[in-house]
Amino acid sequence: MNTAPKKSLTDSVQFLKGVGPARADLLANLNIRTVGDLLFHLPRYYDDLGDIRDMGQLTAGVLQTVRGEIVELDSKELPTGKRVLSVVVADAKGRCVEGVWFGQFFVAQKFRYGLKVAFSGKPKWFRDHWTMQHPRVEILEHAGDEPINKVVAVYPMTENLAADRLRDMVRAGLDSFGELVADILPRGLLSRHGLPALPQALEHAHFPVSVSQGLTAKRRFIYEEFLVLQIALSLRRRELRDARQAPKMPADAEMDARIRRLFPFTLTQDQDRSIAAICKDLKQDRPMQRLLQADVGAGKTAVAVYALLVAVANKHQAALMAPTEVLAQQHWNTLEKYLAQSRVRRFLLTGSLSAKERRQALEDIRAGKIDLVVGTQALVSQDVVFARLGLVVIDEQHKFGVSQRARIRKQEAGDPHYLVMTATPIPRTIALTVFGDLDISIIRQLPPGRQPVVTRWLTEKQRASTYQQLREQMQQGRQAYIVCPLVEESESLDWKAAAKMHADLTAGAFGGLRVGLLHGRLDDADKDRLMREFRDRKLDALVATVVIEVGVDVPNATLMVIEQAERFGLSQLHQLRGRISRGEVAGECYLFTGMPTEEARERLKIFTRTADGFVLAEEDARLRGLGELLGTRQHGLGDLRFGDPLADRELLETARADAIALVADDPELRKPEHALLRRNVLDRYGKTLALAEVG
Ligand code: ADP
Ligand code: MG
């Protein structure tokens, strides 16, 4: 009788051969808790130890393997107190390579004079001989033996867990649980892309015979991850669009001409292209779900106004939602300018309305007496009921992600069309992951006549003369932002830094000028007041921590100093600089730095070189990783385990195309070959994307 409990991939990894409680704790640092977690803990990359070189033929900086006999063993203490282990191996001709270890004394136990070993590492020529830092060591039984593992998987590691131990555990896991892994990918897709099926893919990913075999196996997991995400997004698109009803709102040539006459400028080609895409969506009876992406100042608002007016001309109501009161007010002012000659009945729904005023407004909206409502997302989405809402424009500015998107309260008369605007350029591949459920329009081109901002990275020596120059410009009527960074750990510190900067400037370089101080400790009303004073030119300069509202328009502010610029990410710097690139006068942006790291230097060099937000966003993602680019906030979509939308972009595009085709062909994933895939999609994204349980 077999009484052994049934094995499962969700078994705790602790009971796997060679693991035990202590190692299980270490594995938990890597988020490995179950056997399944361990099997899917994939290598970061592969080392090829098969490039075996004669000691006379080494190339600096490239991973190579040498073999020889230990002829010197030495450990010494450096003047810094650091201890160094040096092990010299020599070949038959007496040529030597020195292996060097810093502080890892347990390594010394492996070695003794005369032992035959292979060292694998990247050699460096030091004074008169080759050295390898922390080479991988293989003990050879006989002279001339091939090293046993030619290709070695290199894993994301945690302290105190030797790489070889981890490999042994993975081996044990594969041997006793390998046959339990179920392949969620349909055969057809695997063979079309030449990807290995499970469990072979796991075997190849962990223990490949060649680097390319390992990489192909890894591609399979990346593809699978992208496919699952893209299917989830396709299902969500279906739910938001194909399964819903929205009013048809066509625009004809006459309407088009009437709207265009309202703008004091000719729309750019990119604006026209976005408008054409929007109009095509609005005349369908499925709700538009479109993202309008544009660099700061590229002219999104004009496009939004066009769309709002198409809705109103079609006798539907429209709403424009901004993230803050200041921005809602600003949009309102812009609308007022464009609509001066129009009879559109419009209303600004602000938090400062009295209860009575608000009640009256809500009644009018419900009765259809108001065509166009502007407000913050909170105000508009809470309890407002529209008579016949046709379009919602959501200005998200710098916020990201599907899950956070404000949703207007469900309306009785069917769904409105949605247009989401963001001022943060995101590379297409990243947009396909975080905004993958939306159709995307991009405005890249800036309106004509825009002057590029001049950006200079200055040294402390140049500070006094720069202040003098700024002072003169402010005396001639221009305005400046002085940006101080947030101190991460402590709001009070960042406040103090900004307050000190403010005190120093008013007592010194900017004495006699009107300088405001804006920081995170102020409440919203005070922040609004300061921004308003600045906009109305009652202040010459604004010392601010990064609470300057993204999107706030002060065209006369063309000067900016960014303190400790190394603390900001590229996207953030770009957003800041966007504040001073809105007028006819060329902006000037000055950077001061404390002690930038190598990475920060690279970032700042890129920043001074280009003003293209899309280029900067891509560089930012490359330098800091996707998670950082998207902000620390949990958005649920960018946290991929295997794939990197930038590095693996062609796999992402492939997976997206496959997902769209698959969902078109089997919209509820009911085919038996899609059963596991469906389960996986729902487990991973069902909640984040509010997907209905399909089937
Ligand atoms: P965004 O919302 O993308 O930051 P806005 O719509 O606020 O940009 O436009 C920024 C500025 O450019 C505004 O002052 C606007 O009047 C102007 N603008 C927009 N489109 C054009 C255009 N096609 N030609 C000239 N100026 C334009
Ligand atoms: Mg704007």
| 397 occurs within a structural domain | yes
**Is 638 part of any domain?**
no
d(CA 131, CA 153): 23
Same domain, 402 and 505: no
Q: How far is the CA of 375 from the centre of ligand 2 (A)?
A: 14
Where residue 486 sits, what CATH number does that domain have?
3.40.50.300
- The sign of the torsion formed by the CA atoms of 258, 264, 266, 272 equals negative
Average pLDDT over every residue of 613-621? 84
CA distance 203 to 39: 9
Last residue of a domain, one of 424, 443, 462: 443
Q: Is residue 242 over pLDDT 90? A: no
Q: How far is CA 149 from the centre of its chain?
A: 37
Q: Could you tell me the distance, in angstroms and rounded to a whole number, from the CA of residue 398 to the centre of ligand 2? A: 11
Mean pLDDT, residues 602-623: 88
Residue of 12, 43, 37, 402 lying closest to 216 (CA atoms): 43
* Closest alpha carbon to 348 in 366, 368, 367, 322: 322
Q: Which of 13-22, 302-311, 606-615 has the highest mean pLDDT?
A: 302-311
Which is nearest to 550 in space by CA: 573, 531, 575, 532? Answer: 575
**52 secondary structure, DSSP code:** B
Chain-centre distance of CA 560, in angstroms? Answer: 26
pLDDT in tens, 541-553: 999 886 565 556 7
Claim to verify: residue 459 and residue 406 sit in the same structural domain: no
Question: What pLDDT is stored for residue 403 in this prediction?
Answer: 45
Same domain, 393 and 498: no
Q: How confident is the model at residue 686 (pLDDT cuts 50, 70, 90)?
A: confident
The answer to the question of residue 55 being in a domain is: yes
Residue 34 inside a domain? The answer is: no
- Using the atom order of ligand 1, give the atom closest to the CA of residue 302: 6
d(CA 645, CA 222): 10
Domain end point (choices 122, 148, 174) = 148
Handedness of CA 236, 238, 242, 248 (dihedral sign): positive
In a domain, 628, yes or no: no
Q: Please report the pLDDT score of residue 492 as a whole number.
A: 61
Q: Which two tokens stand for residue 412?
A: 């009785």
Instruction: Report cis status (omega within 30 of 0) of the bond before 199.
Output: yes
SS3 118: strand
Percent of the chain at pLDDT exceeding 70: 90
Q: Is the pLDDT of residue 206 over 90?
A: yes
In our burial notation (b when 16+ CB lie closer than 10 A, e otherwise), range 306-337 reads bbbbbbbbbebbbbbbbbbbbbbbbbbebbee
pLDDT-wise least confident of 153-157, 547-551, 674-678: 547-551
Q: Look at residue 632 in the predicted model and tell me its pLDDT.
A: 39
Opening angle at CA 683, ends 679 and 686, nearest 5: 105
Which helix H or strand E contains 420, and what residues bound it?
Answer: strand 417-422
Closest ligand 1 atom, residue 295 Cα: 3
Look at residue 633 in the predicted model and tell me its pLDDT: 41
User: What is residue 590's predicted lDDT score, i.e. its pLDDT?
Assistant: 97
> Which residue would you say has higher pLDDT here, 668 or 495?
668
- The total number of structural domains that make up the chain: 3
DSSP SS3 for 476: coil
In a domain, 248, yes or no: no
For residue 173, give the nearest of 350, 314, 367, 39 by alpha carbon. 39
Please list every protein residue whose CB sits less than 6 Å from any atom of ligand 1. Answer: 265, 267-268, 271, 294, 296-302, 423, 447
In the chain, the amino acid numbered 29 is: N
The 10 Å Cβ neighbour count of residue 245 is 10
For ligand 1, pick from 301, 334, 393 the residue to mutate: most ligand atoms within 8 Å of CB.
301
Per-residue confidence (pLDDT) for residue 410, from 0 to 100: 65
**Mean per-residue pLDDT over the chain, rounded:** 87
Q: What is the pLDDT of residue 625?
A: 67
Instruction: Sheet with 372-376: list strands edge to edge.
Output: 346-349, 372-376, 317-322, 389-397, 417-422, 289-294, 439-443
Q: Tell me if residue 472 falls in helix, strand or coil.
A: helix
Residue ranges making up the domain that contains 62: 50-148
Q: Are residues 416 and 473 in the same domain?
A: no
User: Which CA distances in Å does 55 have to 66, 89, 140, 229?
Assistant: 6, 10, 17, 49
* 99 and 142 together in one domain: yes
pLDDT at site 578: 86
Question: How confident is the model at residue 645, as a pLDDT?
Answer: 85
- What's residue 251's pLDDT? 97
Measured CA to CA, the distance from residue 8 to residue 23 in angstroms comes to: 20
Which backbone phi and psi does 654 adopt, to 5 degrees? Answer: -60, -50
Closest of 71, 68, 164 to residue 112, by C-alpha: 71
Q: How confident is the model at residue 375 (pLDDT cuts 50, 70, 90)?
A: very high
Count of helix runs (H) and strand runs (E) in the chain: 22, 22
Return the pLDDT at 550.
56
Do 461 and 360 reside in the same domain of the chain? no
Ligand 2 centre to CA of 334 (Å) is 9
Which of the 8 DSSP states describes residue 477?
T
pLDDT at residue 2 in the model: 54
**Tokens standing for residue 344:** 């559109």
Ligand 2 centroid to residue 299 C-alpha, Å: 7
The string of DSSP codes covering 603-633 is HHHHHHH---HHHHHHHHHHHH-HHHHT-SS
Task: Let me know whether 519 and 602 are in one domain.
Answer: yes
Domain boundary among 148, 182, 214: 148
508 and 431 housed in the same domain: no
Helix, strand, coil percentages (3-state) for the chain, rounded to 5, are 40, 20, 40
Same domain, 459 and 432: no
* Mean pLDDT (whole number) for 228-249: 89
- Dump pLDDT digits (tens) for 33-63: 999 999 999 999 998 888 889 999 999 999 9
User: Is 276 in the same domain as 388?
Assistant: yes
Let me know if residue 392 belongs to a domain. Answer: yes
Question: Do residues 354 and 469 share a domain?
Answer: no
Ligand 1 mutation target, pool 260, 261, 263, 265, most atoms within 8 A of CB: 265
CATH of the domain at 108: 2.40.50.140
Among all ligands shown, which has an atom nearest to the Cα of 555?
A: 1
Over residues 167-189, the mean pLDDT reads: 93
Q: How far does the centroid of ligand 1 lie from the alpha carbon of residue 413, in Å?
A: 34
Among protein residues, the one with the nearest Cα to ligand 1's atom 25 is 447
- Angle separating helix axes 300-313 and 269-282, nearest 10 degrees: 30
CB of 670 closer than 8 Å to CB of 643: no
Same domain, yes or no: 476 and 415: no
Q: Which residue has the higher pLDDT, 402 or 572?
A: 572
Nearest to 458 by CA among 469, 474, 472: 469
Nearest residue CA, atom 11 of ligand 1? 297
Does residue 513 lie in a domain region?
yes
Closest atom of ligand 1 to 303 CA is 6
Whether pTM > 0.85 for this model: the answer is no
**Number of residues written out for the chain:** 695
